[in-house]
Amino acid sequence: MNPTDVSGLPSGVPDVLRESGIEELYPPQAAAVDAGVTEGESVVASVPTASGKTLVAELAMLSSVHRGGKALYVVPLRALASEKKAEFERWSDFGVEVGISTGNYESSEEWLASRDVVVATSEKVDSLVRNGAPWIDDLTCVVADEVHLVDDPSRGPTLEVTLAKLRRINPGLQTVALSATVDNADEVADWLDAELVKSDWRPVDLRTGVHYGDAITFADGEQREVPVGRGERPTAALLDDTLSEGGSSLVFVNSRRNAEAAARRGADVAEDHLTDDERDDLAALADEVAGVSDTETSEDLAAVVERGAAFHHAGLSAEHRSLVEDAFRDRLLKVICATPTLAAGVNTPSRRVIVRDWRRYDGEFGGMKPLDTLEVHQMFGRAGRPGLDPYGEAVLIAKDHDAMDQLFDRYVEAEPEPVQSKLAREPAMRTHLLATVASGFARTRSGLLDFLDRTLYAAQSEGTERLESVVDSTLDYLVANDFVERDGEEITATALGHTVSRLYLDPMSAAEIVDGLRDAEDPSPLGLYHLVCRTPDMYELYLKSGDRETYTERCYEREDEFLGRVPSEFEDVRFEEWLSALKTAKLLEDWAREVDEDRITERYGVGPGDVRGKVDTAEWLLGAAERLAVELDLDCAVAVREAKKRVADGVREELLDLTGVRGVGRKRARRLYEAGVESRADLREAEKSVVLGALRGRERTAERVLENAGREDPSMEGVSVAEASADGEDGDGDGSDADTRRAGDGSAADSGDQQASLGDFE
């Protein structure tokens, strides 16, 4: 099918598609058009990675906007949201305005009403519905990217309930769901009242197999010799084989530490395949990577990047990940060694994918658990980029013949598992039941059951007994904690319940916070950090070897600061959770005391991305705690507000006025303070030479800071650096400052990649 044969699109769009190299639609794309995707019909496209799913979404959204409607594109990851927004902006010449919304979970984002296409995470869309965003009523098309993630226990229920709510609000809503190839795509299509387009077609041939001994054995029985030298690792041999043909490789391993170690070994292989020009470009990229933050992780990443490789995991900052992904797409970086998170949607194709580790640790399982077939197939799908790779290869590694047979049975020849709703899990149900009542979707038990009947869970369930049991126990919990009230058959959200729903809190988190704040007279920052760190919405740091003794001692040293009863050491699980929360709270306290980021990452064994994730989550939870304190008229609201500001900006109390100036983060604020510039008012009156010296002689930075502080004449023309301030280390790593996060689209959380259950699927 030629693009000019597609009806319903704005005039000129087919020509743009042809100019971009699309002479013929891929078979799955043509099938979606035949199914009516440009005529407002709902479609589920279950096709392999790189088979053109995004264009199916674009055709649906463009045709919907052309008919006078508004489209919403729902993604699982913030990074993917940014990628898709940039991609969709190519349609701005046709008057299509694109907006993005991923943070600030207590806002209705009314400005998005002026956008034709909105890109947002499923959590953000859920919060928009809860906060009554009026433009949600105007939606005519919703696209759910990676819809198979309804199977994910942490974020799947949100996607599932959000789609059910959007379809309830807009009965004629066109729903386009993009999915990996899964066993029960027909069930998903039935749930969404959509036509199913299912295909195994790929634009680049994908060969899958297992490496054992000195060869890869592919699914079709053919072999490719890849000998492993004496003392050489199979992964290194596979990398060298790919690079010798001009290809790039993705290596999937099961932990951050393994990703970093594998990247060092990958760099040993990659550097032998670099041209002189590539070495120069990589040296410049390594400098950029090292400049992102003053941490060991940053230095380690820069060291391997300079040699043509990189590691990729949730411990990296968002800027690190972006630099690595862009350089890999440009084929400057030859090897990425990653944890499985990279397979979750971000566009990083390669010639060969190597799945080195097919087991990972699972606490609930009690040891190393095999990965799901669907997850491994998602990794496989990263192999082969249209237009650049003549083929793609996905290879597992076996240590013996029995393991090779097992890998063929489990992954190479197996079909992906069916997706199963996780909505009945208790954390998901209590969160979404409260939101359903608070936002008026149901006002009785029968109304709740009727709404839930629109979910995938109901579609997959035989009978209603299990669902009714979970609903009843959840309602009992919500009533007991004063989030909802029952009056006969009528169920209504209390004022507190409405607030908790709008704040996007797990009701159990809200209950923990409320109980703690009610006992607080003059809470310390550590006490407040610990309070929010022990909620379900914060992923706590694990206790490592020796930590129990260390944090038990700290627990008793600062026992009077905790908001709530300290569990007995004999309550093993509760006490360990309490100490894990304390460790996490201590990280936040160090950050708010201006401890250097590199010392924090070393002290707690985390990466810069983890620090950002914990800080952003704490800022959100403390903001919610402040709202709850005000709602309940508690005296501690001011203390909570100050603790929130300190952790958000990463400073001691005396710097809060300075960090309130846009462009002044924790490092710049401290240098200004030590130079005698202690407040916003001082910035308006201080000698310019003193300000310039404190800002390391950077005139443009100084001018922006003075302008943001309200100085009438911020110009630094003719100003010389004050001698007393000119010396010292140039530590202007302010890209990591909290103010830099605020300089984005208005959401501090948007720079973070991991915001507990709110953030990046990491």
* Side-chain-side CA neighbours of residue 158 (13 Å): 27
Structural domain count, the chain: 5
pLDDT of residue 723: 60
Euclidean distance between CA atoms 700 and 692, whole angstroms: 10
Q: How many CB atoms lie within 10 A of CB 105?
A: 23
Judge whether residue 108 has pLDDT over 90. Answer: no
User: 486 and 513 in one domain?
Assistant: no
CB 89 within 8 A of CB 358: no
CB-CB contact of 422 with 389 (8 Å): no
Contact 57, 176 (CB under 8 A): yes
Task: Report the alpha-carbon distance of residue 307 to residue 282 in Å, rounded.
Answer: 7
CATH of the domain at 576: 1.10.3380.30
- CATH number of the structural domain spanning residue 725: 1.10.150
Q: What are φ and ψ of residue 259, in 5° steps? A: -65, -40
Both 389 and 442 in one domain: the answer is: no
Give the pLDDT score at 418: 94
User: For 315-324, how does the pLDDT look when each residue is reduced to its tens digit (9 = 90+)?
Assistant: 888 899 999 9
Residue showing tokens 């120069």: 280
**Average pLDDT estimate for 531-546:** 94
For residue 762, what pLDDT band results from cuts at 50, 70 and 90? Answer: very low
Query: Domain for residue 423, yes or no?
Result: no
Q: Are residues 141 and 30 in the same domain?
A: yes
Above 50 in pLDDT, residue 436? yes
What confidence category does residue 345 fall into, taking pLDDT thresholds of 50, 70 and 90?
Answer: low
Q: Is residue 424 part of a domain?
A: no
Of 49-53, 139-143, 562-566, 702-706, where does the model show the most confidence?
Answer: 139-143
Out of 609, 633, 653, pick the residue that ends a domain: 653
224/284 same-domain check: yes
**What pLDDT does residue 144 have?**
98
User: What pLDDT score was predicted for residue 26?
Assistant: 95
- Number of residues that make up the chain: 762
Q: Same domain for 634 and 702?
A: no
Q: Using CB atoms within 10 A of its CB, is residue 55 exposed (0-12), middle (13-18) or buried (19+)?
A: middle
Residue 419 in domain: no
Specify the pLDDT at position 739. 40
Last-in-domain residue among 461, 491, 521: 491
Average pLDDT along the chain: 90
Whether 567 and 527 map to the same domain: the answer is yes
> Do residues 456 and 398 both lie within one domain?
no
pLDDT of res. 387? 76
* Domain-located, residue 55: yes
Long-range contacts of 677-685 (CB under 8 A, 24+ apart): 678/654, 680/709, 680/710, 683/658, 683/709, 683/711, 684/709, 684/710, 684/711, 684/712
CATH of the domain at 264: 3.40.50.300
Q: Which of 219, 218, 216, 217 lies closest to 228, judged by CA?
A: 216
Cα–Cα distance, 530 to 324 (Å, whole number): 34
Same-domain status, 158 and 294: no
Inside any domain, residue 579: yes
Contact in structure between 691 and 683 (CB atoms under 8 Å) = yes
Per-residue pLDDT for 759 more than 60? Answer: no
Residue 560 lies in a domain: yes
Of 110 and 448, more confident: 448
Q: What is the pLDDT, as a whole number, of residue 624?
A: 96
Q: Which of 38-47, 62-71, 344-353, 421-430 has the lowest mean pLDDT?
A: 344-353
Tell whether the torsion through CA atoms of 712, 717, 719 and 721 is positive or negative.
Answer: positive
Lowest mean pLDDT among 133-137, 358-362, 567-571, 731-735: 731-735
Stated pTM of the model: 0.87
For 28-51, write each residue's pLDDT tens digit: 999 999 999 999 999 999 998 878
Contacts of 222 (CB under 8 A, 6+ apart): none
**Distance (Å, rounded) from C-alpha 344 to C-alpha 76?**
8
Give the confidence band of 209 by pLDDT, cuts at 50, 70, 90.
Answer: very high
Sorting pLDDT into bands at 50, 70 and 90, what band is 343? low
Range with lowest mean pLDDT among 186-195, 347-356, 643-652 = 347-356
* Both tokens assigned to 455: 């979910």
Assess whether 320 and 394 both reside in one domain: yes
Q: How far apart are CA 669 and CA 660, in angstroms?
A: 10
**Nearest partner of 298 among 597, 619, 616, 589, judged by Cα:** 597
The domain in which residue 356 lies consists of 206-412
3-state percent helix, strand, coil for the chain, nearest multiple of 5: 50, 10, 35
- Short-list 247, 253, 331, CA closest to 285: 331
Distance of CA 439 to the CA centre of its chain: 26
Backbone angles phi, psi at 232, to 5 degrees: -90, 150
Percent of the chain clearing pLDDT 70 (strictly above): 93
- Cα 734 from Cα 699, distance rounded (Å): 15
Residue 106 clears pLDDT 50, i.e. is over it:
yes
Count the alpha carbons within 13 Å of 673 in the hemisphere toward its beta carbon: 17
Among the ranges 159-163, 375-379, 757-761, which has the highest mean pLDDT value? 159-163
Query: Per-residue pLDDT averaged across 185-198, rounded?
Result: 97
Span 113-129, pLDDT tens digits: 999 999 999 999 999 99
* In a domain? residue 496: no
DSSP letters spanning 326-374: HHHHTTSS-EEEE-GGGGSS----BSEEEE---EEEETTTTEEEEPPHH
Q: Domain for residue 481, yes or no?
A: yes
Same domain, 263 and 390: yes
187: left (phi over 0), alpha (psi -120 to 50) or beta: alpha
pLDDT value at position 735? 38
Can you tell me the mean pLDDT for 135-152? 95
d(CA 696, CA 731): 9
> Phi and psi dihedrals of 310, rounded to 5?
-160, 160
Is the predicted pLDDT of residue 490 greater than 70, yes or no? Answer: yes
Determine the Cα–Cα distance for residues 198 and 48; give it in Å rounded to an integer: 9
CATH code assigned at 455: 1.10.10.10
Give residue 237's pLDDT band: very low, low, confident or very high (50, 70, 90). Answer: very high
Where is the domain boundary, 377, 412, 447?
412
217 and 329 in a common domain? yes
Q: Looking at 482-571, which runs of residues are DSSP E strands? A: 484-487, 490-493
Token look-up 């990972």 returns 360
Do 528 and 485 reside in the same domain of the chain? no
Strands 215-218 and 206-212: antiparallel
Which of 297-311, 326-340, 716-730 shows the lowest mean pLDDT across its residues?
Answer: 716-730
